[in-house]
Structure 1
Amino acid sequence: MSDLRELYQELILDHGKHPRNFGAPEHADREAKGHNPLCGDRLTVYLVLDGDRIVDARFDGAGCAISTASASLMTETLKGRTLAEAEQIFAKFHDLVTGGRSHLDDPELEKLEVFAGVSEFPVRVKCATLAWHTLKAATEASSDAVSTE
C-alpha cells in the first residue's frame, strides 16, 4: 500500500510541477473562472468544442500542487468526451474526493483515483475540486465566477 501511496504522490507532484494543458487556447467556446479563497488558488478553465464534444480542455492560473494537479489530470481526462460525460465524470470525482468512494470504473479515469486520499483532509477537498466546479460552470456556460466558499 505504501508503494501505491508513493506512486500517487509522485503523480500529483508531477502534474503539480509540470501541468499538462496549461495556458489559454487561441479560441475557447466556453470558459469559467474559479477561486479558492482559503488557499488563494485562482484558475480559468477553457473548453474548445465540436458540437457537444470537448476537443480541447485547458486551464491557466496559479494554485497549490493539489489544485494544479487536479486541473491537469482533469483536462487530460476530458478530451474527446461530451459535455454530458464531463458532468458525469465530475459527479464521480466529487464523490471520490468527499469520501463517497465512487468507483471510477472507466480505465481512462483510473488516474483520478490518486485523489481518493484527499477525503481524509477536508480542507484539501476544495483544492482538489476547484477545477472541477469551474469545469461545471463552463459546461453550463455560466458567467458567474466559481468560489469554493
Structure 2
Amino acid sequence: MKKNFDNTGVVSFQTELFLMSIIQRQDMMDLARTDLAKLLLDYFYMSPSQQAYIATMTPAFKMTTGNGIAETWESGQYIQFQKDEKPPDDHYKDLVVIDPAMINNIADQSDQEQSVPIRLPISIWIRYQLQ
C-alpha cells in the first residue's frame, strides 16, 4: 500500500521494509539502486508536481542517491528523512541530500588492516524558503 510522502509516511515505509523477509528487502534495495524513480512512484503518493520533479532527476543523481539509500538499508539503518511543511506563500523548494559515504567513512585510516568501513545513514531534507 502506498504511503504519504512525508515524515510519517517515510518512517512507516522503512519500518515495513525492515519487517520484510530478507529476499523482499533485497528486492527493495535493488530497486532503489536500479530505478529510484519507480520505487518512489510505486510506494508513495506523489502530487503531479512531485511526479514531474522525479521525471527530471538526472541519472547520476538517481544512481548516487539510490545507492546511498540501499547501502543505508543494508547496514540496518533508517534513512534520515525530513520534509518541512510547505508554506502557503511563494517559495523555493530545496532538496538537500547528504551522503556521508561520499565524504569519508573509514574508522581509522592509519592502519588499513584494522580499519573498518562505517556506513553512516544518508540524509534527505526537503525544505522551503520564501522568495
- Pick 1 or 2: higher relative contact order, CA cutoff 8 A, min separation 6: 1
Q: Same fold (TM over 0.5)?
A: no
Q: What TM-score range do you get, normalising by the shorter chain?
A: 0.3 to 0.5
Computing the radius of gyration from Cα coordinates, the structure with the larger value is 2
TM-score by length of 1: 0.32
TM-score by length of 2: 0.35
